[in-house]
Amino acid sequence: MGGPGVALRDDLGRDVRLSAPARRIASLSPALTEIVCAVGCLSSLVLRDRWSDFPPEAHPIPAVDAISPSAEQILAARPDLVLVSFPNARVRAALDAAGVPWLALSPADLPAIKRDIDQVARACGATEDGQAAQRAFAASLAAAASARPQGERRPRVYLELDVAGAKAWTTGGDAFTSALVAAAGGDNVFANLRGWPQIGTEAIVAADPDVVLLAWPAAGPAGGSSQLGNVPAGRTGVMADAQSAARAFAARPGLLGLRAVRMGRIHRLDPALLGRPGPRAPAAVAAIAAVLSSPPAAALETP
């Protein structure tokens, strides 16, 4: 275990210093909750956001709202460190005023996930477990990448995170979800965009991808959407099995002529797996690689 005084640097470029390894951690991100558990610091977790549903051992820990967490509830848990991905101004101000250190971690690529595993491990004084988690992450990633499709031409991939009417949300080239596609052997057709942009049907038609990956969020118990992790929350809460999702995509006006539709290469993937830049990211790469390596299916029949 590490000694007193821990110097950290978060993904906002902030230098954060702890007087001692954290023993009461509040995690406001599903991906960061998974990292805390992966480095052996579950016992230090005193608060989580409600979308932190993995691993199951974290379920009994008190939870706060994921979209607009209450600063009062966070402070009431008496954390000595708060882990966040997209900290809102109100929570930041409350933590700063109370003198509670916070660490913003939102990796944009796979190497950054490994660095964040190291940051969290050092924050809670679990250096050795953190190194083991990093080795496991690297080994799993290498195994996943080995399954990517072979050939001179990489498949051109459209990843759809959510849809509402004629508008859809996808991933730009600077987002970690795009890095997952690249590691799996595909090329993101919207890599020229940034963040998680909203696009129209015309842009999808113009891109004419070889493969469509649907990572629509599942509907929550109150009709809302389940969090993708570090990806901004879904808007529609679409719930569909793989075949129904593929048919629903192909049935949208203007999309029937897409190469991916004609070849039957529309696939639904677990949004939580794709949306969390944490220890399970290699599993997301493996899932995408398996899809990209699969042979074309029959053309979809739409109503």
Residues 6+ apart with CB under 8 A from 224: 233, 237
**Would you give the end-to-end CA distance of the chain in angstroms?**
60
The pLDDT, as a whole number, for residue 2 is 46
For the stretch 204-222, pLDDT in tens is: 999 999 999 999 986 433 3
Q: Of 185-199, 226-240, 246-260, 280-294, which range is least confident?
A: 226-240
pTM reported for the whole predicted model: 0.87
Residue 3 has pLDDT above 60, yes or no: no
pLDDT in tens, 100-156: 999 999 998 999 999 999 999 999 999 999 999 999 999 999 999 888 888 778 999
Q: Can you tell me the distance from the alpha carbon of 177 to that of 195, in angstroms, rounded to the nearest whole number?
A: 10
Max CA pair span of the chain:
64
Question: What does the alpha-carbon distance between residue 158 and residue 36 come to, in Å, rounded to a whole number?
Answer: 32
The dihedrals phi and psi of 233, each to the nearest 5 degrees, come to -60, 150
At 173 the pLDDT is 96
Which fold, 152-293?
Answer: Rossmann fold (3.40.50)
Q: What are phi and psi of 272, to 5 degrees?
A: -65, -35
Please state which of the four CATH numbers 3.40.50.1980, 3.40.30.10, 1.10.10.370, 3.30.70.141 is assigned to the domain occupying 6-142: 3.40.50.1980
Residue 298 predicted with pLDDT over 70: no
CA 163 from chain centre, in angstroms, equals: 17
Quote the CA–CA distance of 21 and 122 in Å, as a whole number.
Answer: 7
pLDDT digits (tens, 9 = 90+) for 26-55: 999 999 999 999 999 999 999 999 999 999
Instruction: Count the residues in the chain.
Output: 303
Which regions of the chain carry the CATH code 3.40.50.1980?
A: 6-142, 152-293
CA–CA separation, 101 vs 275, rounded Å? 26
Q: Quick one: CA dihedral 177, 179, 183, 185, positive or negative? A: positive
